[in-house]
Structure 1
Amino acid sequence: MTGKRRLPSFKKTALELVQCPLCRGRAITKGVFYELPCERCNASGWVAASGEDLTLEELVTQLSLNLKGAMQSIEQLKKPQASGPGATYQGSNRRGAGGTNYTGD
């Protein structure tokens, strides 16, 4: 053997997606008489940030991974987070006797 062999990754990583420069994210292009689905982005409006076209199978996977990440961000922003001096009184810090809440009073 002359070098290391590269094996495929066992995990998919989310690629950065940008709007298709041909259709500008609209997923359709103007034809002579009517609008046509954009062939560069497979009528999705998204391409890889490197500018390369994605196969339909890879595009579906990347859109799903990006949607999942966006949904997690939205759920995290929905959760109210207490701040200030009253933040320590919210919930249990398990520092008291028997794992109860200890506030220091």
Structure 2
Amino acid sequence: MGLFYELVCTECNGSGWVVRGSKLVLSSDELVTQLSFKLQQTQRQIAALKGQTNVARPQREQSNRLGAGGTNYTGD
């Protein structure tokens, strides 16, 4: 903390993420990976609280298997 304003930590680039038990700083690549894991975990928790199971997954078009030989029927 500065006298009149907050100073950004130059050692961890203001992220606050360090290696547990030491004063080593995470590299930028490792920081991005860890933040991505944390985001995915939080999204799963939100989805569980909302009662949904497939949040943040792109929806794939399902084949309806109604055509000849189990192929996709398009109605043509």
Larger relative contact order (C-alpha < 8 A, sep ≥ 6)? 1
When Rg is computed on C-alpha atoms for both structures, the one with the higher figure is: 1
Q: Could you tell me the TM-score, scaled by structure 2's length?
A: 0.49
Larger helix fraction of residues = 2
Q: Could you tell me the TM-score, scaled by structure 1's length?
A: 0.38
Larger strand fraction of residues = 1
